[in-house]
Amino acid sequence: MTETAAGEDPRVADLLAQMTLEEKLAQLVGYWEKDATGSDVAPLAGAFDSGPGLEEFSRHGLGHLSRPYGTRPVEPADRAAWLWGFQRHLVEQTRLGVPAIVHEECLTGLAAWRAATFPAPLSWGASFDPGLVEQVGAAIGRSMRELGVHQGLAPVLDVIRDPRWGRVEECISEDPYAVGTIATAYVTGLQSAGVHATLKHFVGYSGSQAGRNFGPVHAGPRELADVFLVPFEMAVRAGARSVMNAYTEIDGVPVAADRSLLTGLLREQWGFDGTCVADYYAVAFLHLLHGVAADPGDAAGQALCAGIDVELPTGDTYLAPLAKAVRSGAVEMDAVDRAVTRVLRQKADLGLLDATFTDPPPTAVDLDDDEHRALARRLAEESVVLLANDGTLPLRSPGRVAVIGPNADRSAALFGCYSFANHVLPDHPGTELGIAAPTVLAALADELGDVTHVEGCSVDGPDTAGLADARAAASDADLAVVVVGDRAGLFGRGTVGEGCDRDDLELPGVQRQLVEEVLATGTPVVLVLLTGRPYAVGWALARCAAVVQAFFPGEEGGPAIAGVLSGRVNPSGRLPVSIPRSAGAQPYGYLRPPLAGPGEVTSLDSTPARPFGFGLSYSTFVHDQLVAGPTAATSEGVAVEVRVTNTGDRAGADVVQLYGRDVVASVTRPVAQLLGFARVELEPGESRTVAFDVPPARLAFTGAAGVKVVEPGDLVLWVGASCDDREVTATVALTGPVHEVPSGSPLGTGVRVS
């Protein structure tokens, strides 16, 4: 990819040459018609005036139309008719006749009323199934394109570093390679439908101090390169067409004003030639929050020159303030022209320069059809993780079952923060959900027959009055299914979600007390966790008959969980994040150097309650015949083969996980690093061989000189049921000189299953 693409549509340069300054700046902003309820569905949105009406705002044209479907409940067909009319107005009534790019949120499906709501990204990670995630992305993209939407603000490529951070539920994994592989699959699927994906949040956002949203990031250049940037580079090289900046600052420099990242790295080194869009209000925040810009015009100039092409969701800084800065000479016109060229090039790629919108809009719109539901069901079923089981599961003859807990009969408990159900509908009380989403209670009743139900407590309230009813229900039952967890929301209105950070990792409210009270009855307890982050539940793993983890599993999540409990579904999810021992078990995550773990030099034990990659099944799997090496050149990568066998009595899926450790290196290296993975379906007694072709870039790290290298020395490899399980091992001696990995080298491990 190059900045000026070969064969570029000549109309781009022609349009640019015709434009006045006002027409140019109009292409660099969005318009967001705020919800009449006055609710804020973006951070600090209430601090900004939405300005003139849409017709006046767009008199010189318009770059983006922000979330016309996703801001309030609207009938999709009715809104499509309005959208076609507005786009036709731009074509026919503005001087240059250029339609707007329409963007929407699409992290768990198109965030619009009546649209399918898929599992949250943590569930994508738990499935370890990039192929299925690609299919989900393609289905979402087709719905968006049908409604005239051109760009989706997803996926999130932030690598989880601290589970206290509220936006963990939007992320895929704590492992950068898993994030990159699965996110790239989503990008490929979405863009196959003609909708441009937007990678966010570039970069380092999830590394905020103490897990606080917007908190400063103190990552060094090596952590930035080897952890945070890895998934972005993978997705950019796979063809992602848009990137969104992170709100955060890194070592005192806000990303929105960092030319070294947004231009030097992203464009000049990686060759990205798409558009860079601002996270909502991020340009204005350079002045209002970061304090690095004297006024809105200064903020606009800094962001534009750094590499942000489009200000979203509106034009608070890129219209009048930027026009003034350009006319005064503070900002060069070349910077404006460069950004406008990129936007027009994107519109040409999307077919908007040819669009007339005289064709009829869709009138029969089904955003939650059988295909969507089937994909949602598969992904939900593949992502449920069985954390503990004493043999109680599957429930063959459970007897009397009491279903207890605040998330047992709440459809919203199945969805993440960026679902329409939790992002928008709370501001529209009385509005129906718009999609079928059976609760865990309803699904268990369908699966098992009659069950009793007691809520026991709320998700995060202090009231303990309902605990007595929960004890009574459990005492009268042969089995208690206790469903606890999170309520996704925005800016302190939930227990998890954007702006809903934690300073501990106990279950919210009095939910732990609820579980303890039920356990005290002596009735066996199956604990179901419906959460958006991993909680410190080691106490429950040791005492409950079984523990099941579901990370906001979407509209089919209730039946998926019920299916796992009944045995209709053989659990196959694996942890994309470690289950922490406590909130103080920092630094968090498996990808750590030796001194970040437990040892005699500290009294604190950071060993997780369950490690990355862990997950039980109703089948058993054996890994053997690991073949690798014994030598490999530093410039050639490593070829590995391993056999996996289903030694159980029922069909199941195993996630074959290949890990490695560089024993001696010039800088400290992780004690374990995921090098490749493969989800393999196996019949009872069946064996298959998985071959991994690990390229040098997967073995590389940023050396002392700041360059990605592969060094000679021993590389220990293993395959097992988690990062901590060295079921079968091999050692490969990497030979030859230190190998500097060239830019553009293959980043992904090749996988073949035979």
- Over the stretch 372-419, which tens digit does the pLDDT of each residue have? 999 999 999 999 999 999 999 999 889 999 999 999 999 999 999 999
HSE, side-chain direction, 13 A CA sphere, residue 215: 20
Q: What is the pLDDT of residue 585?
A: 80
Crossing angle between the packed helical segments 467-475 and 511-520, to the nearest 10 degrees: 30
More confidently predicted of 589 and 320:
320
CB neighbours of 233 closer than 8 A, spacing ≥ 6? Answer: 180, 270, 747
- Cα–Cα dist 178/592, whole Å: 16
Mean pLDDT of the chain: 95
Share above pLDDT 70 across residues of the chain, in percent, rounded to a whole number: 97
Q: How far is CA 76 from CA 365, 510, 613, in A?
A: 7, 40, 40
Using 50, 70 and 90 to split pLDDT, how confident is the model at 39?
Answer: low
Q: What is the pLDDT of residue 175?
A: 98
HSE, side-chain direction, 13 A CA sphere, residue 443: 27
Give the max Cα distance, the chain: 79
More confidently predicted of 419 and 41:
419
Share above pLDDT 90 across residues of the chain, in percent, rounded to a whole number: 93
| 386: Cα separation from own chain's centroid | 21
When computed from its CA atoms, the radius of gyration of the chain, rounded to whole angstroms, is 26
Using 50, 70 and 90 to split pLDDT, how confident is the model at 357?
Answer: very high
Q: What is the pLDDT of residue 41?
A: 62
CB neighbours of 255 closer than 8 A, spacing ≥ 6? Answer: 202, 203, 204, 245, 246, 247, 248, 249, 261, 262
Region for 113 from its dihedrals, namely left if φ exceeds 0, alpha if ψ lies in -120 to 50, beta otherwise? beta
How many degrees, rounded to 5, is the angle at CA 127 between CA 203 and CA 109? 65
Q: What is the pLDDT of residue 597?
A: 86
For residues 290-298, give the mean pLDDT.
98
Q: What is the pLDDT of residue 586?
A: 76
- Using an 8 Å Cβ cutoff, are 171 and 228 in contact? no
How many degrees, rounded to 5, is the angle at CA 24 between CA 21 and CA 25? 90
CA-based nearest residue to 621, from 674, 683, 549: 683
H helices of 428-496, where? 440-448, 467-475
Q: Please state the pTM of the whole predicted model.
A: 0.97
Which residue type occupies 138?
A: A
Q: What is the pLDDT of residue 3?
A: 45
Note the pLDDT tens digit of each residue in 422-437: 999 999 999 999 999 9
705 by Cβ neighbours in 10 Å (0-12 / 13-18 / 19+) ranks as exposed
Q: What is the pLDDT of residue 499?
A: 95
How many degrees, rounded to 5, is the angle at CA 313 between CA 421 and CA 182? 60
Using 50, 70 and 90 to split pLDDT, how confident is the model at 309?
Answer: very high
Q: What is the pLDDT of residue 605?
A: 85
Q: What is the pLDDT of residue 449?
A: 93
Q: What is the pLDDT of residue 339?
A: 98
Of the listed ranges 119-123, 304-308, 556-560, 587-591, the one predicted with least confidence: 587-591
- Cα–Cα dist 213/247, whole Å: 9
Note the pLDDT tens digit of each residue in 579-619: 999 888 877 789 999 988 888 888 888 899 999 999 999 99
Q: How far is CA 409 from CA 42, 471, 566, in A?
A: 28, 18, 18
Place of tokens 């303990």: 464
Q: What is the pLDDT of residue 1?
A: 32
Phi, psi of 322 (to 5 degrees): -70, -40
Q: What is the pLDDT of residue 8?
A: 83
For residue 447, pLDDT over 80 is answered with yes
The DSSP call for residue 217 is B
- Cα–Cα dist 69/80, whole Å: 9
Strands (E), 368-505: 385-389, 401-404, 452-454, 479-485
Q: Which two tokens stand for residue 614?
A: 């862990």
CA-based nearest residue to 344, from 28, 5, 12, 9: 12
SS3 label, residue 19: coil
Q: 29 has which bridge partners?
A: 311
Note the pLDDT tens digit of each residue in 175-226: 999 999 999 999 999 999 999 999 999 999 999 999 999 999 999 999 999 9
DSSP assignment string, 494-530: SSBSTT---S--SPSTTHHHHHHHHHHTT--EEEEEE
- Cα–Cα dist 417/436, whole Å: 18
- Using an 8 Å Cβ cutoff, are 619 and 570 in contact? yes
- Cα–Cα dist 743/700, whole Å: 12
For residue 83, pLDDT over 50 is answered with yes
Note the pLDDT tens digit of each residue in 55-73: 999 999 999 999 999 999 9
For residues 89-105, give the mean pLDDT.
98
SS3 label, residue 595: helix
CB neighbours of 499 closer than 8 A, spacing ≥ 6? Answer: 43, 166, 213, 490, 491, 492
CA-based nearest residue to 312, from 260, 263, 247: 247
CB neighbours of 267 closer than 8 A, spacing ≥ 6? Answer: 3, 273, 307
546-551 vs 452-454, strand pairing mode: unpaired
Q: Terminus-to-terminus CA distance in the chain, angstroms?
A: 35
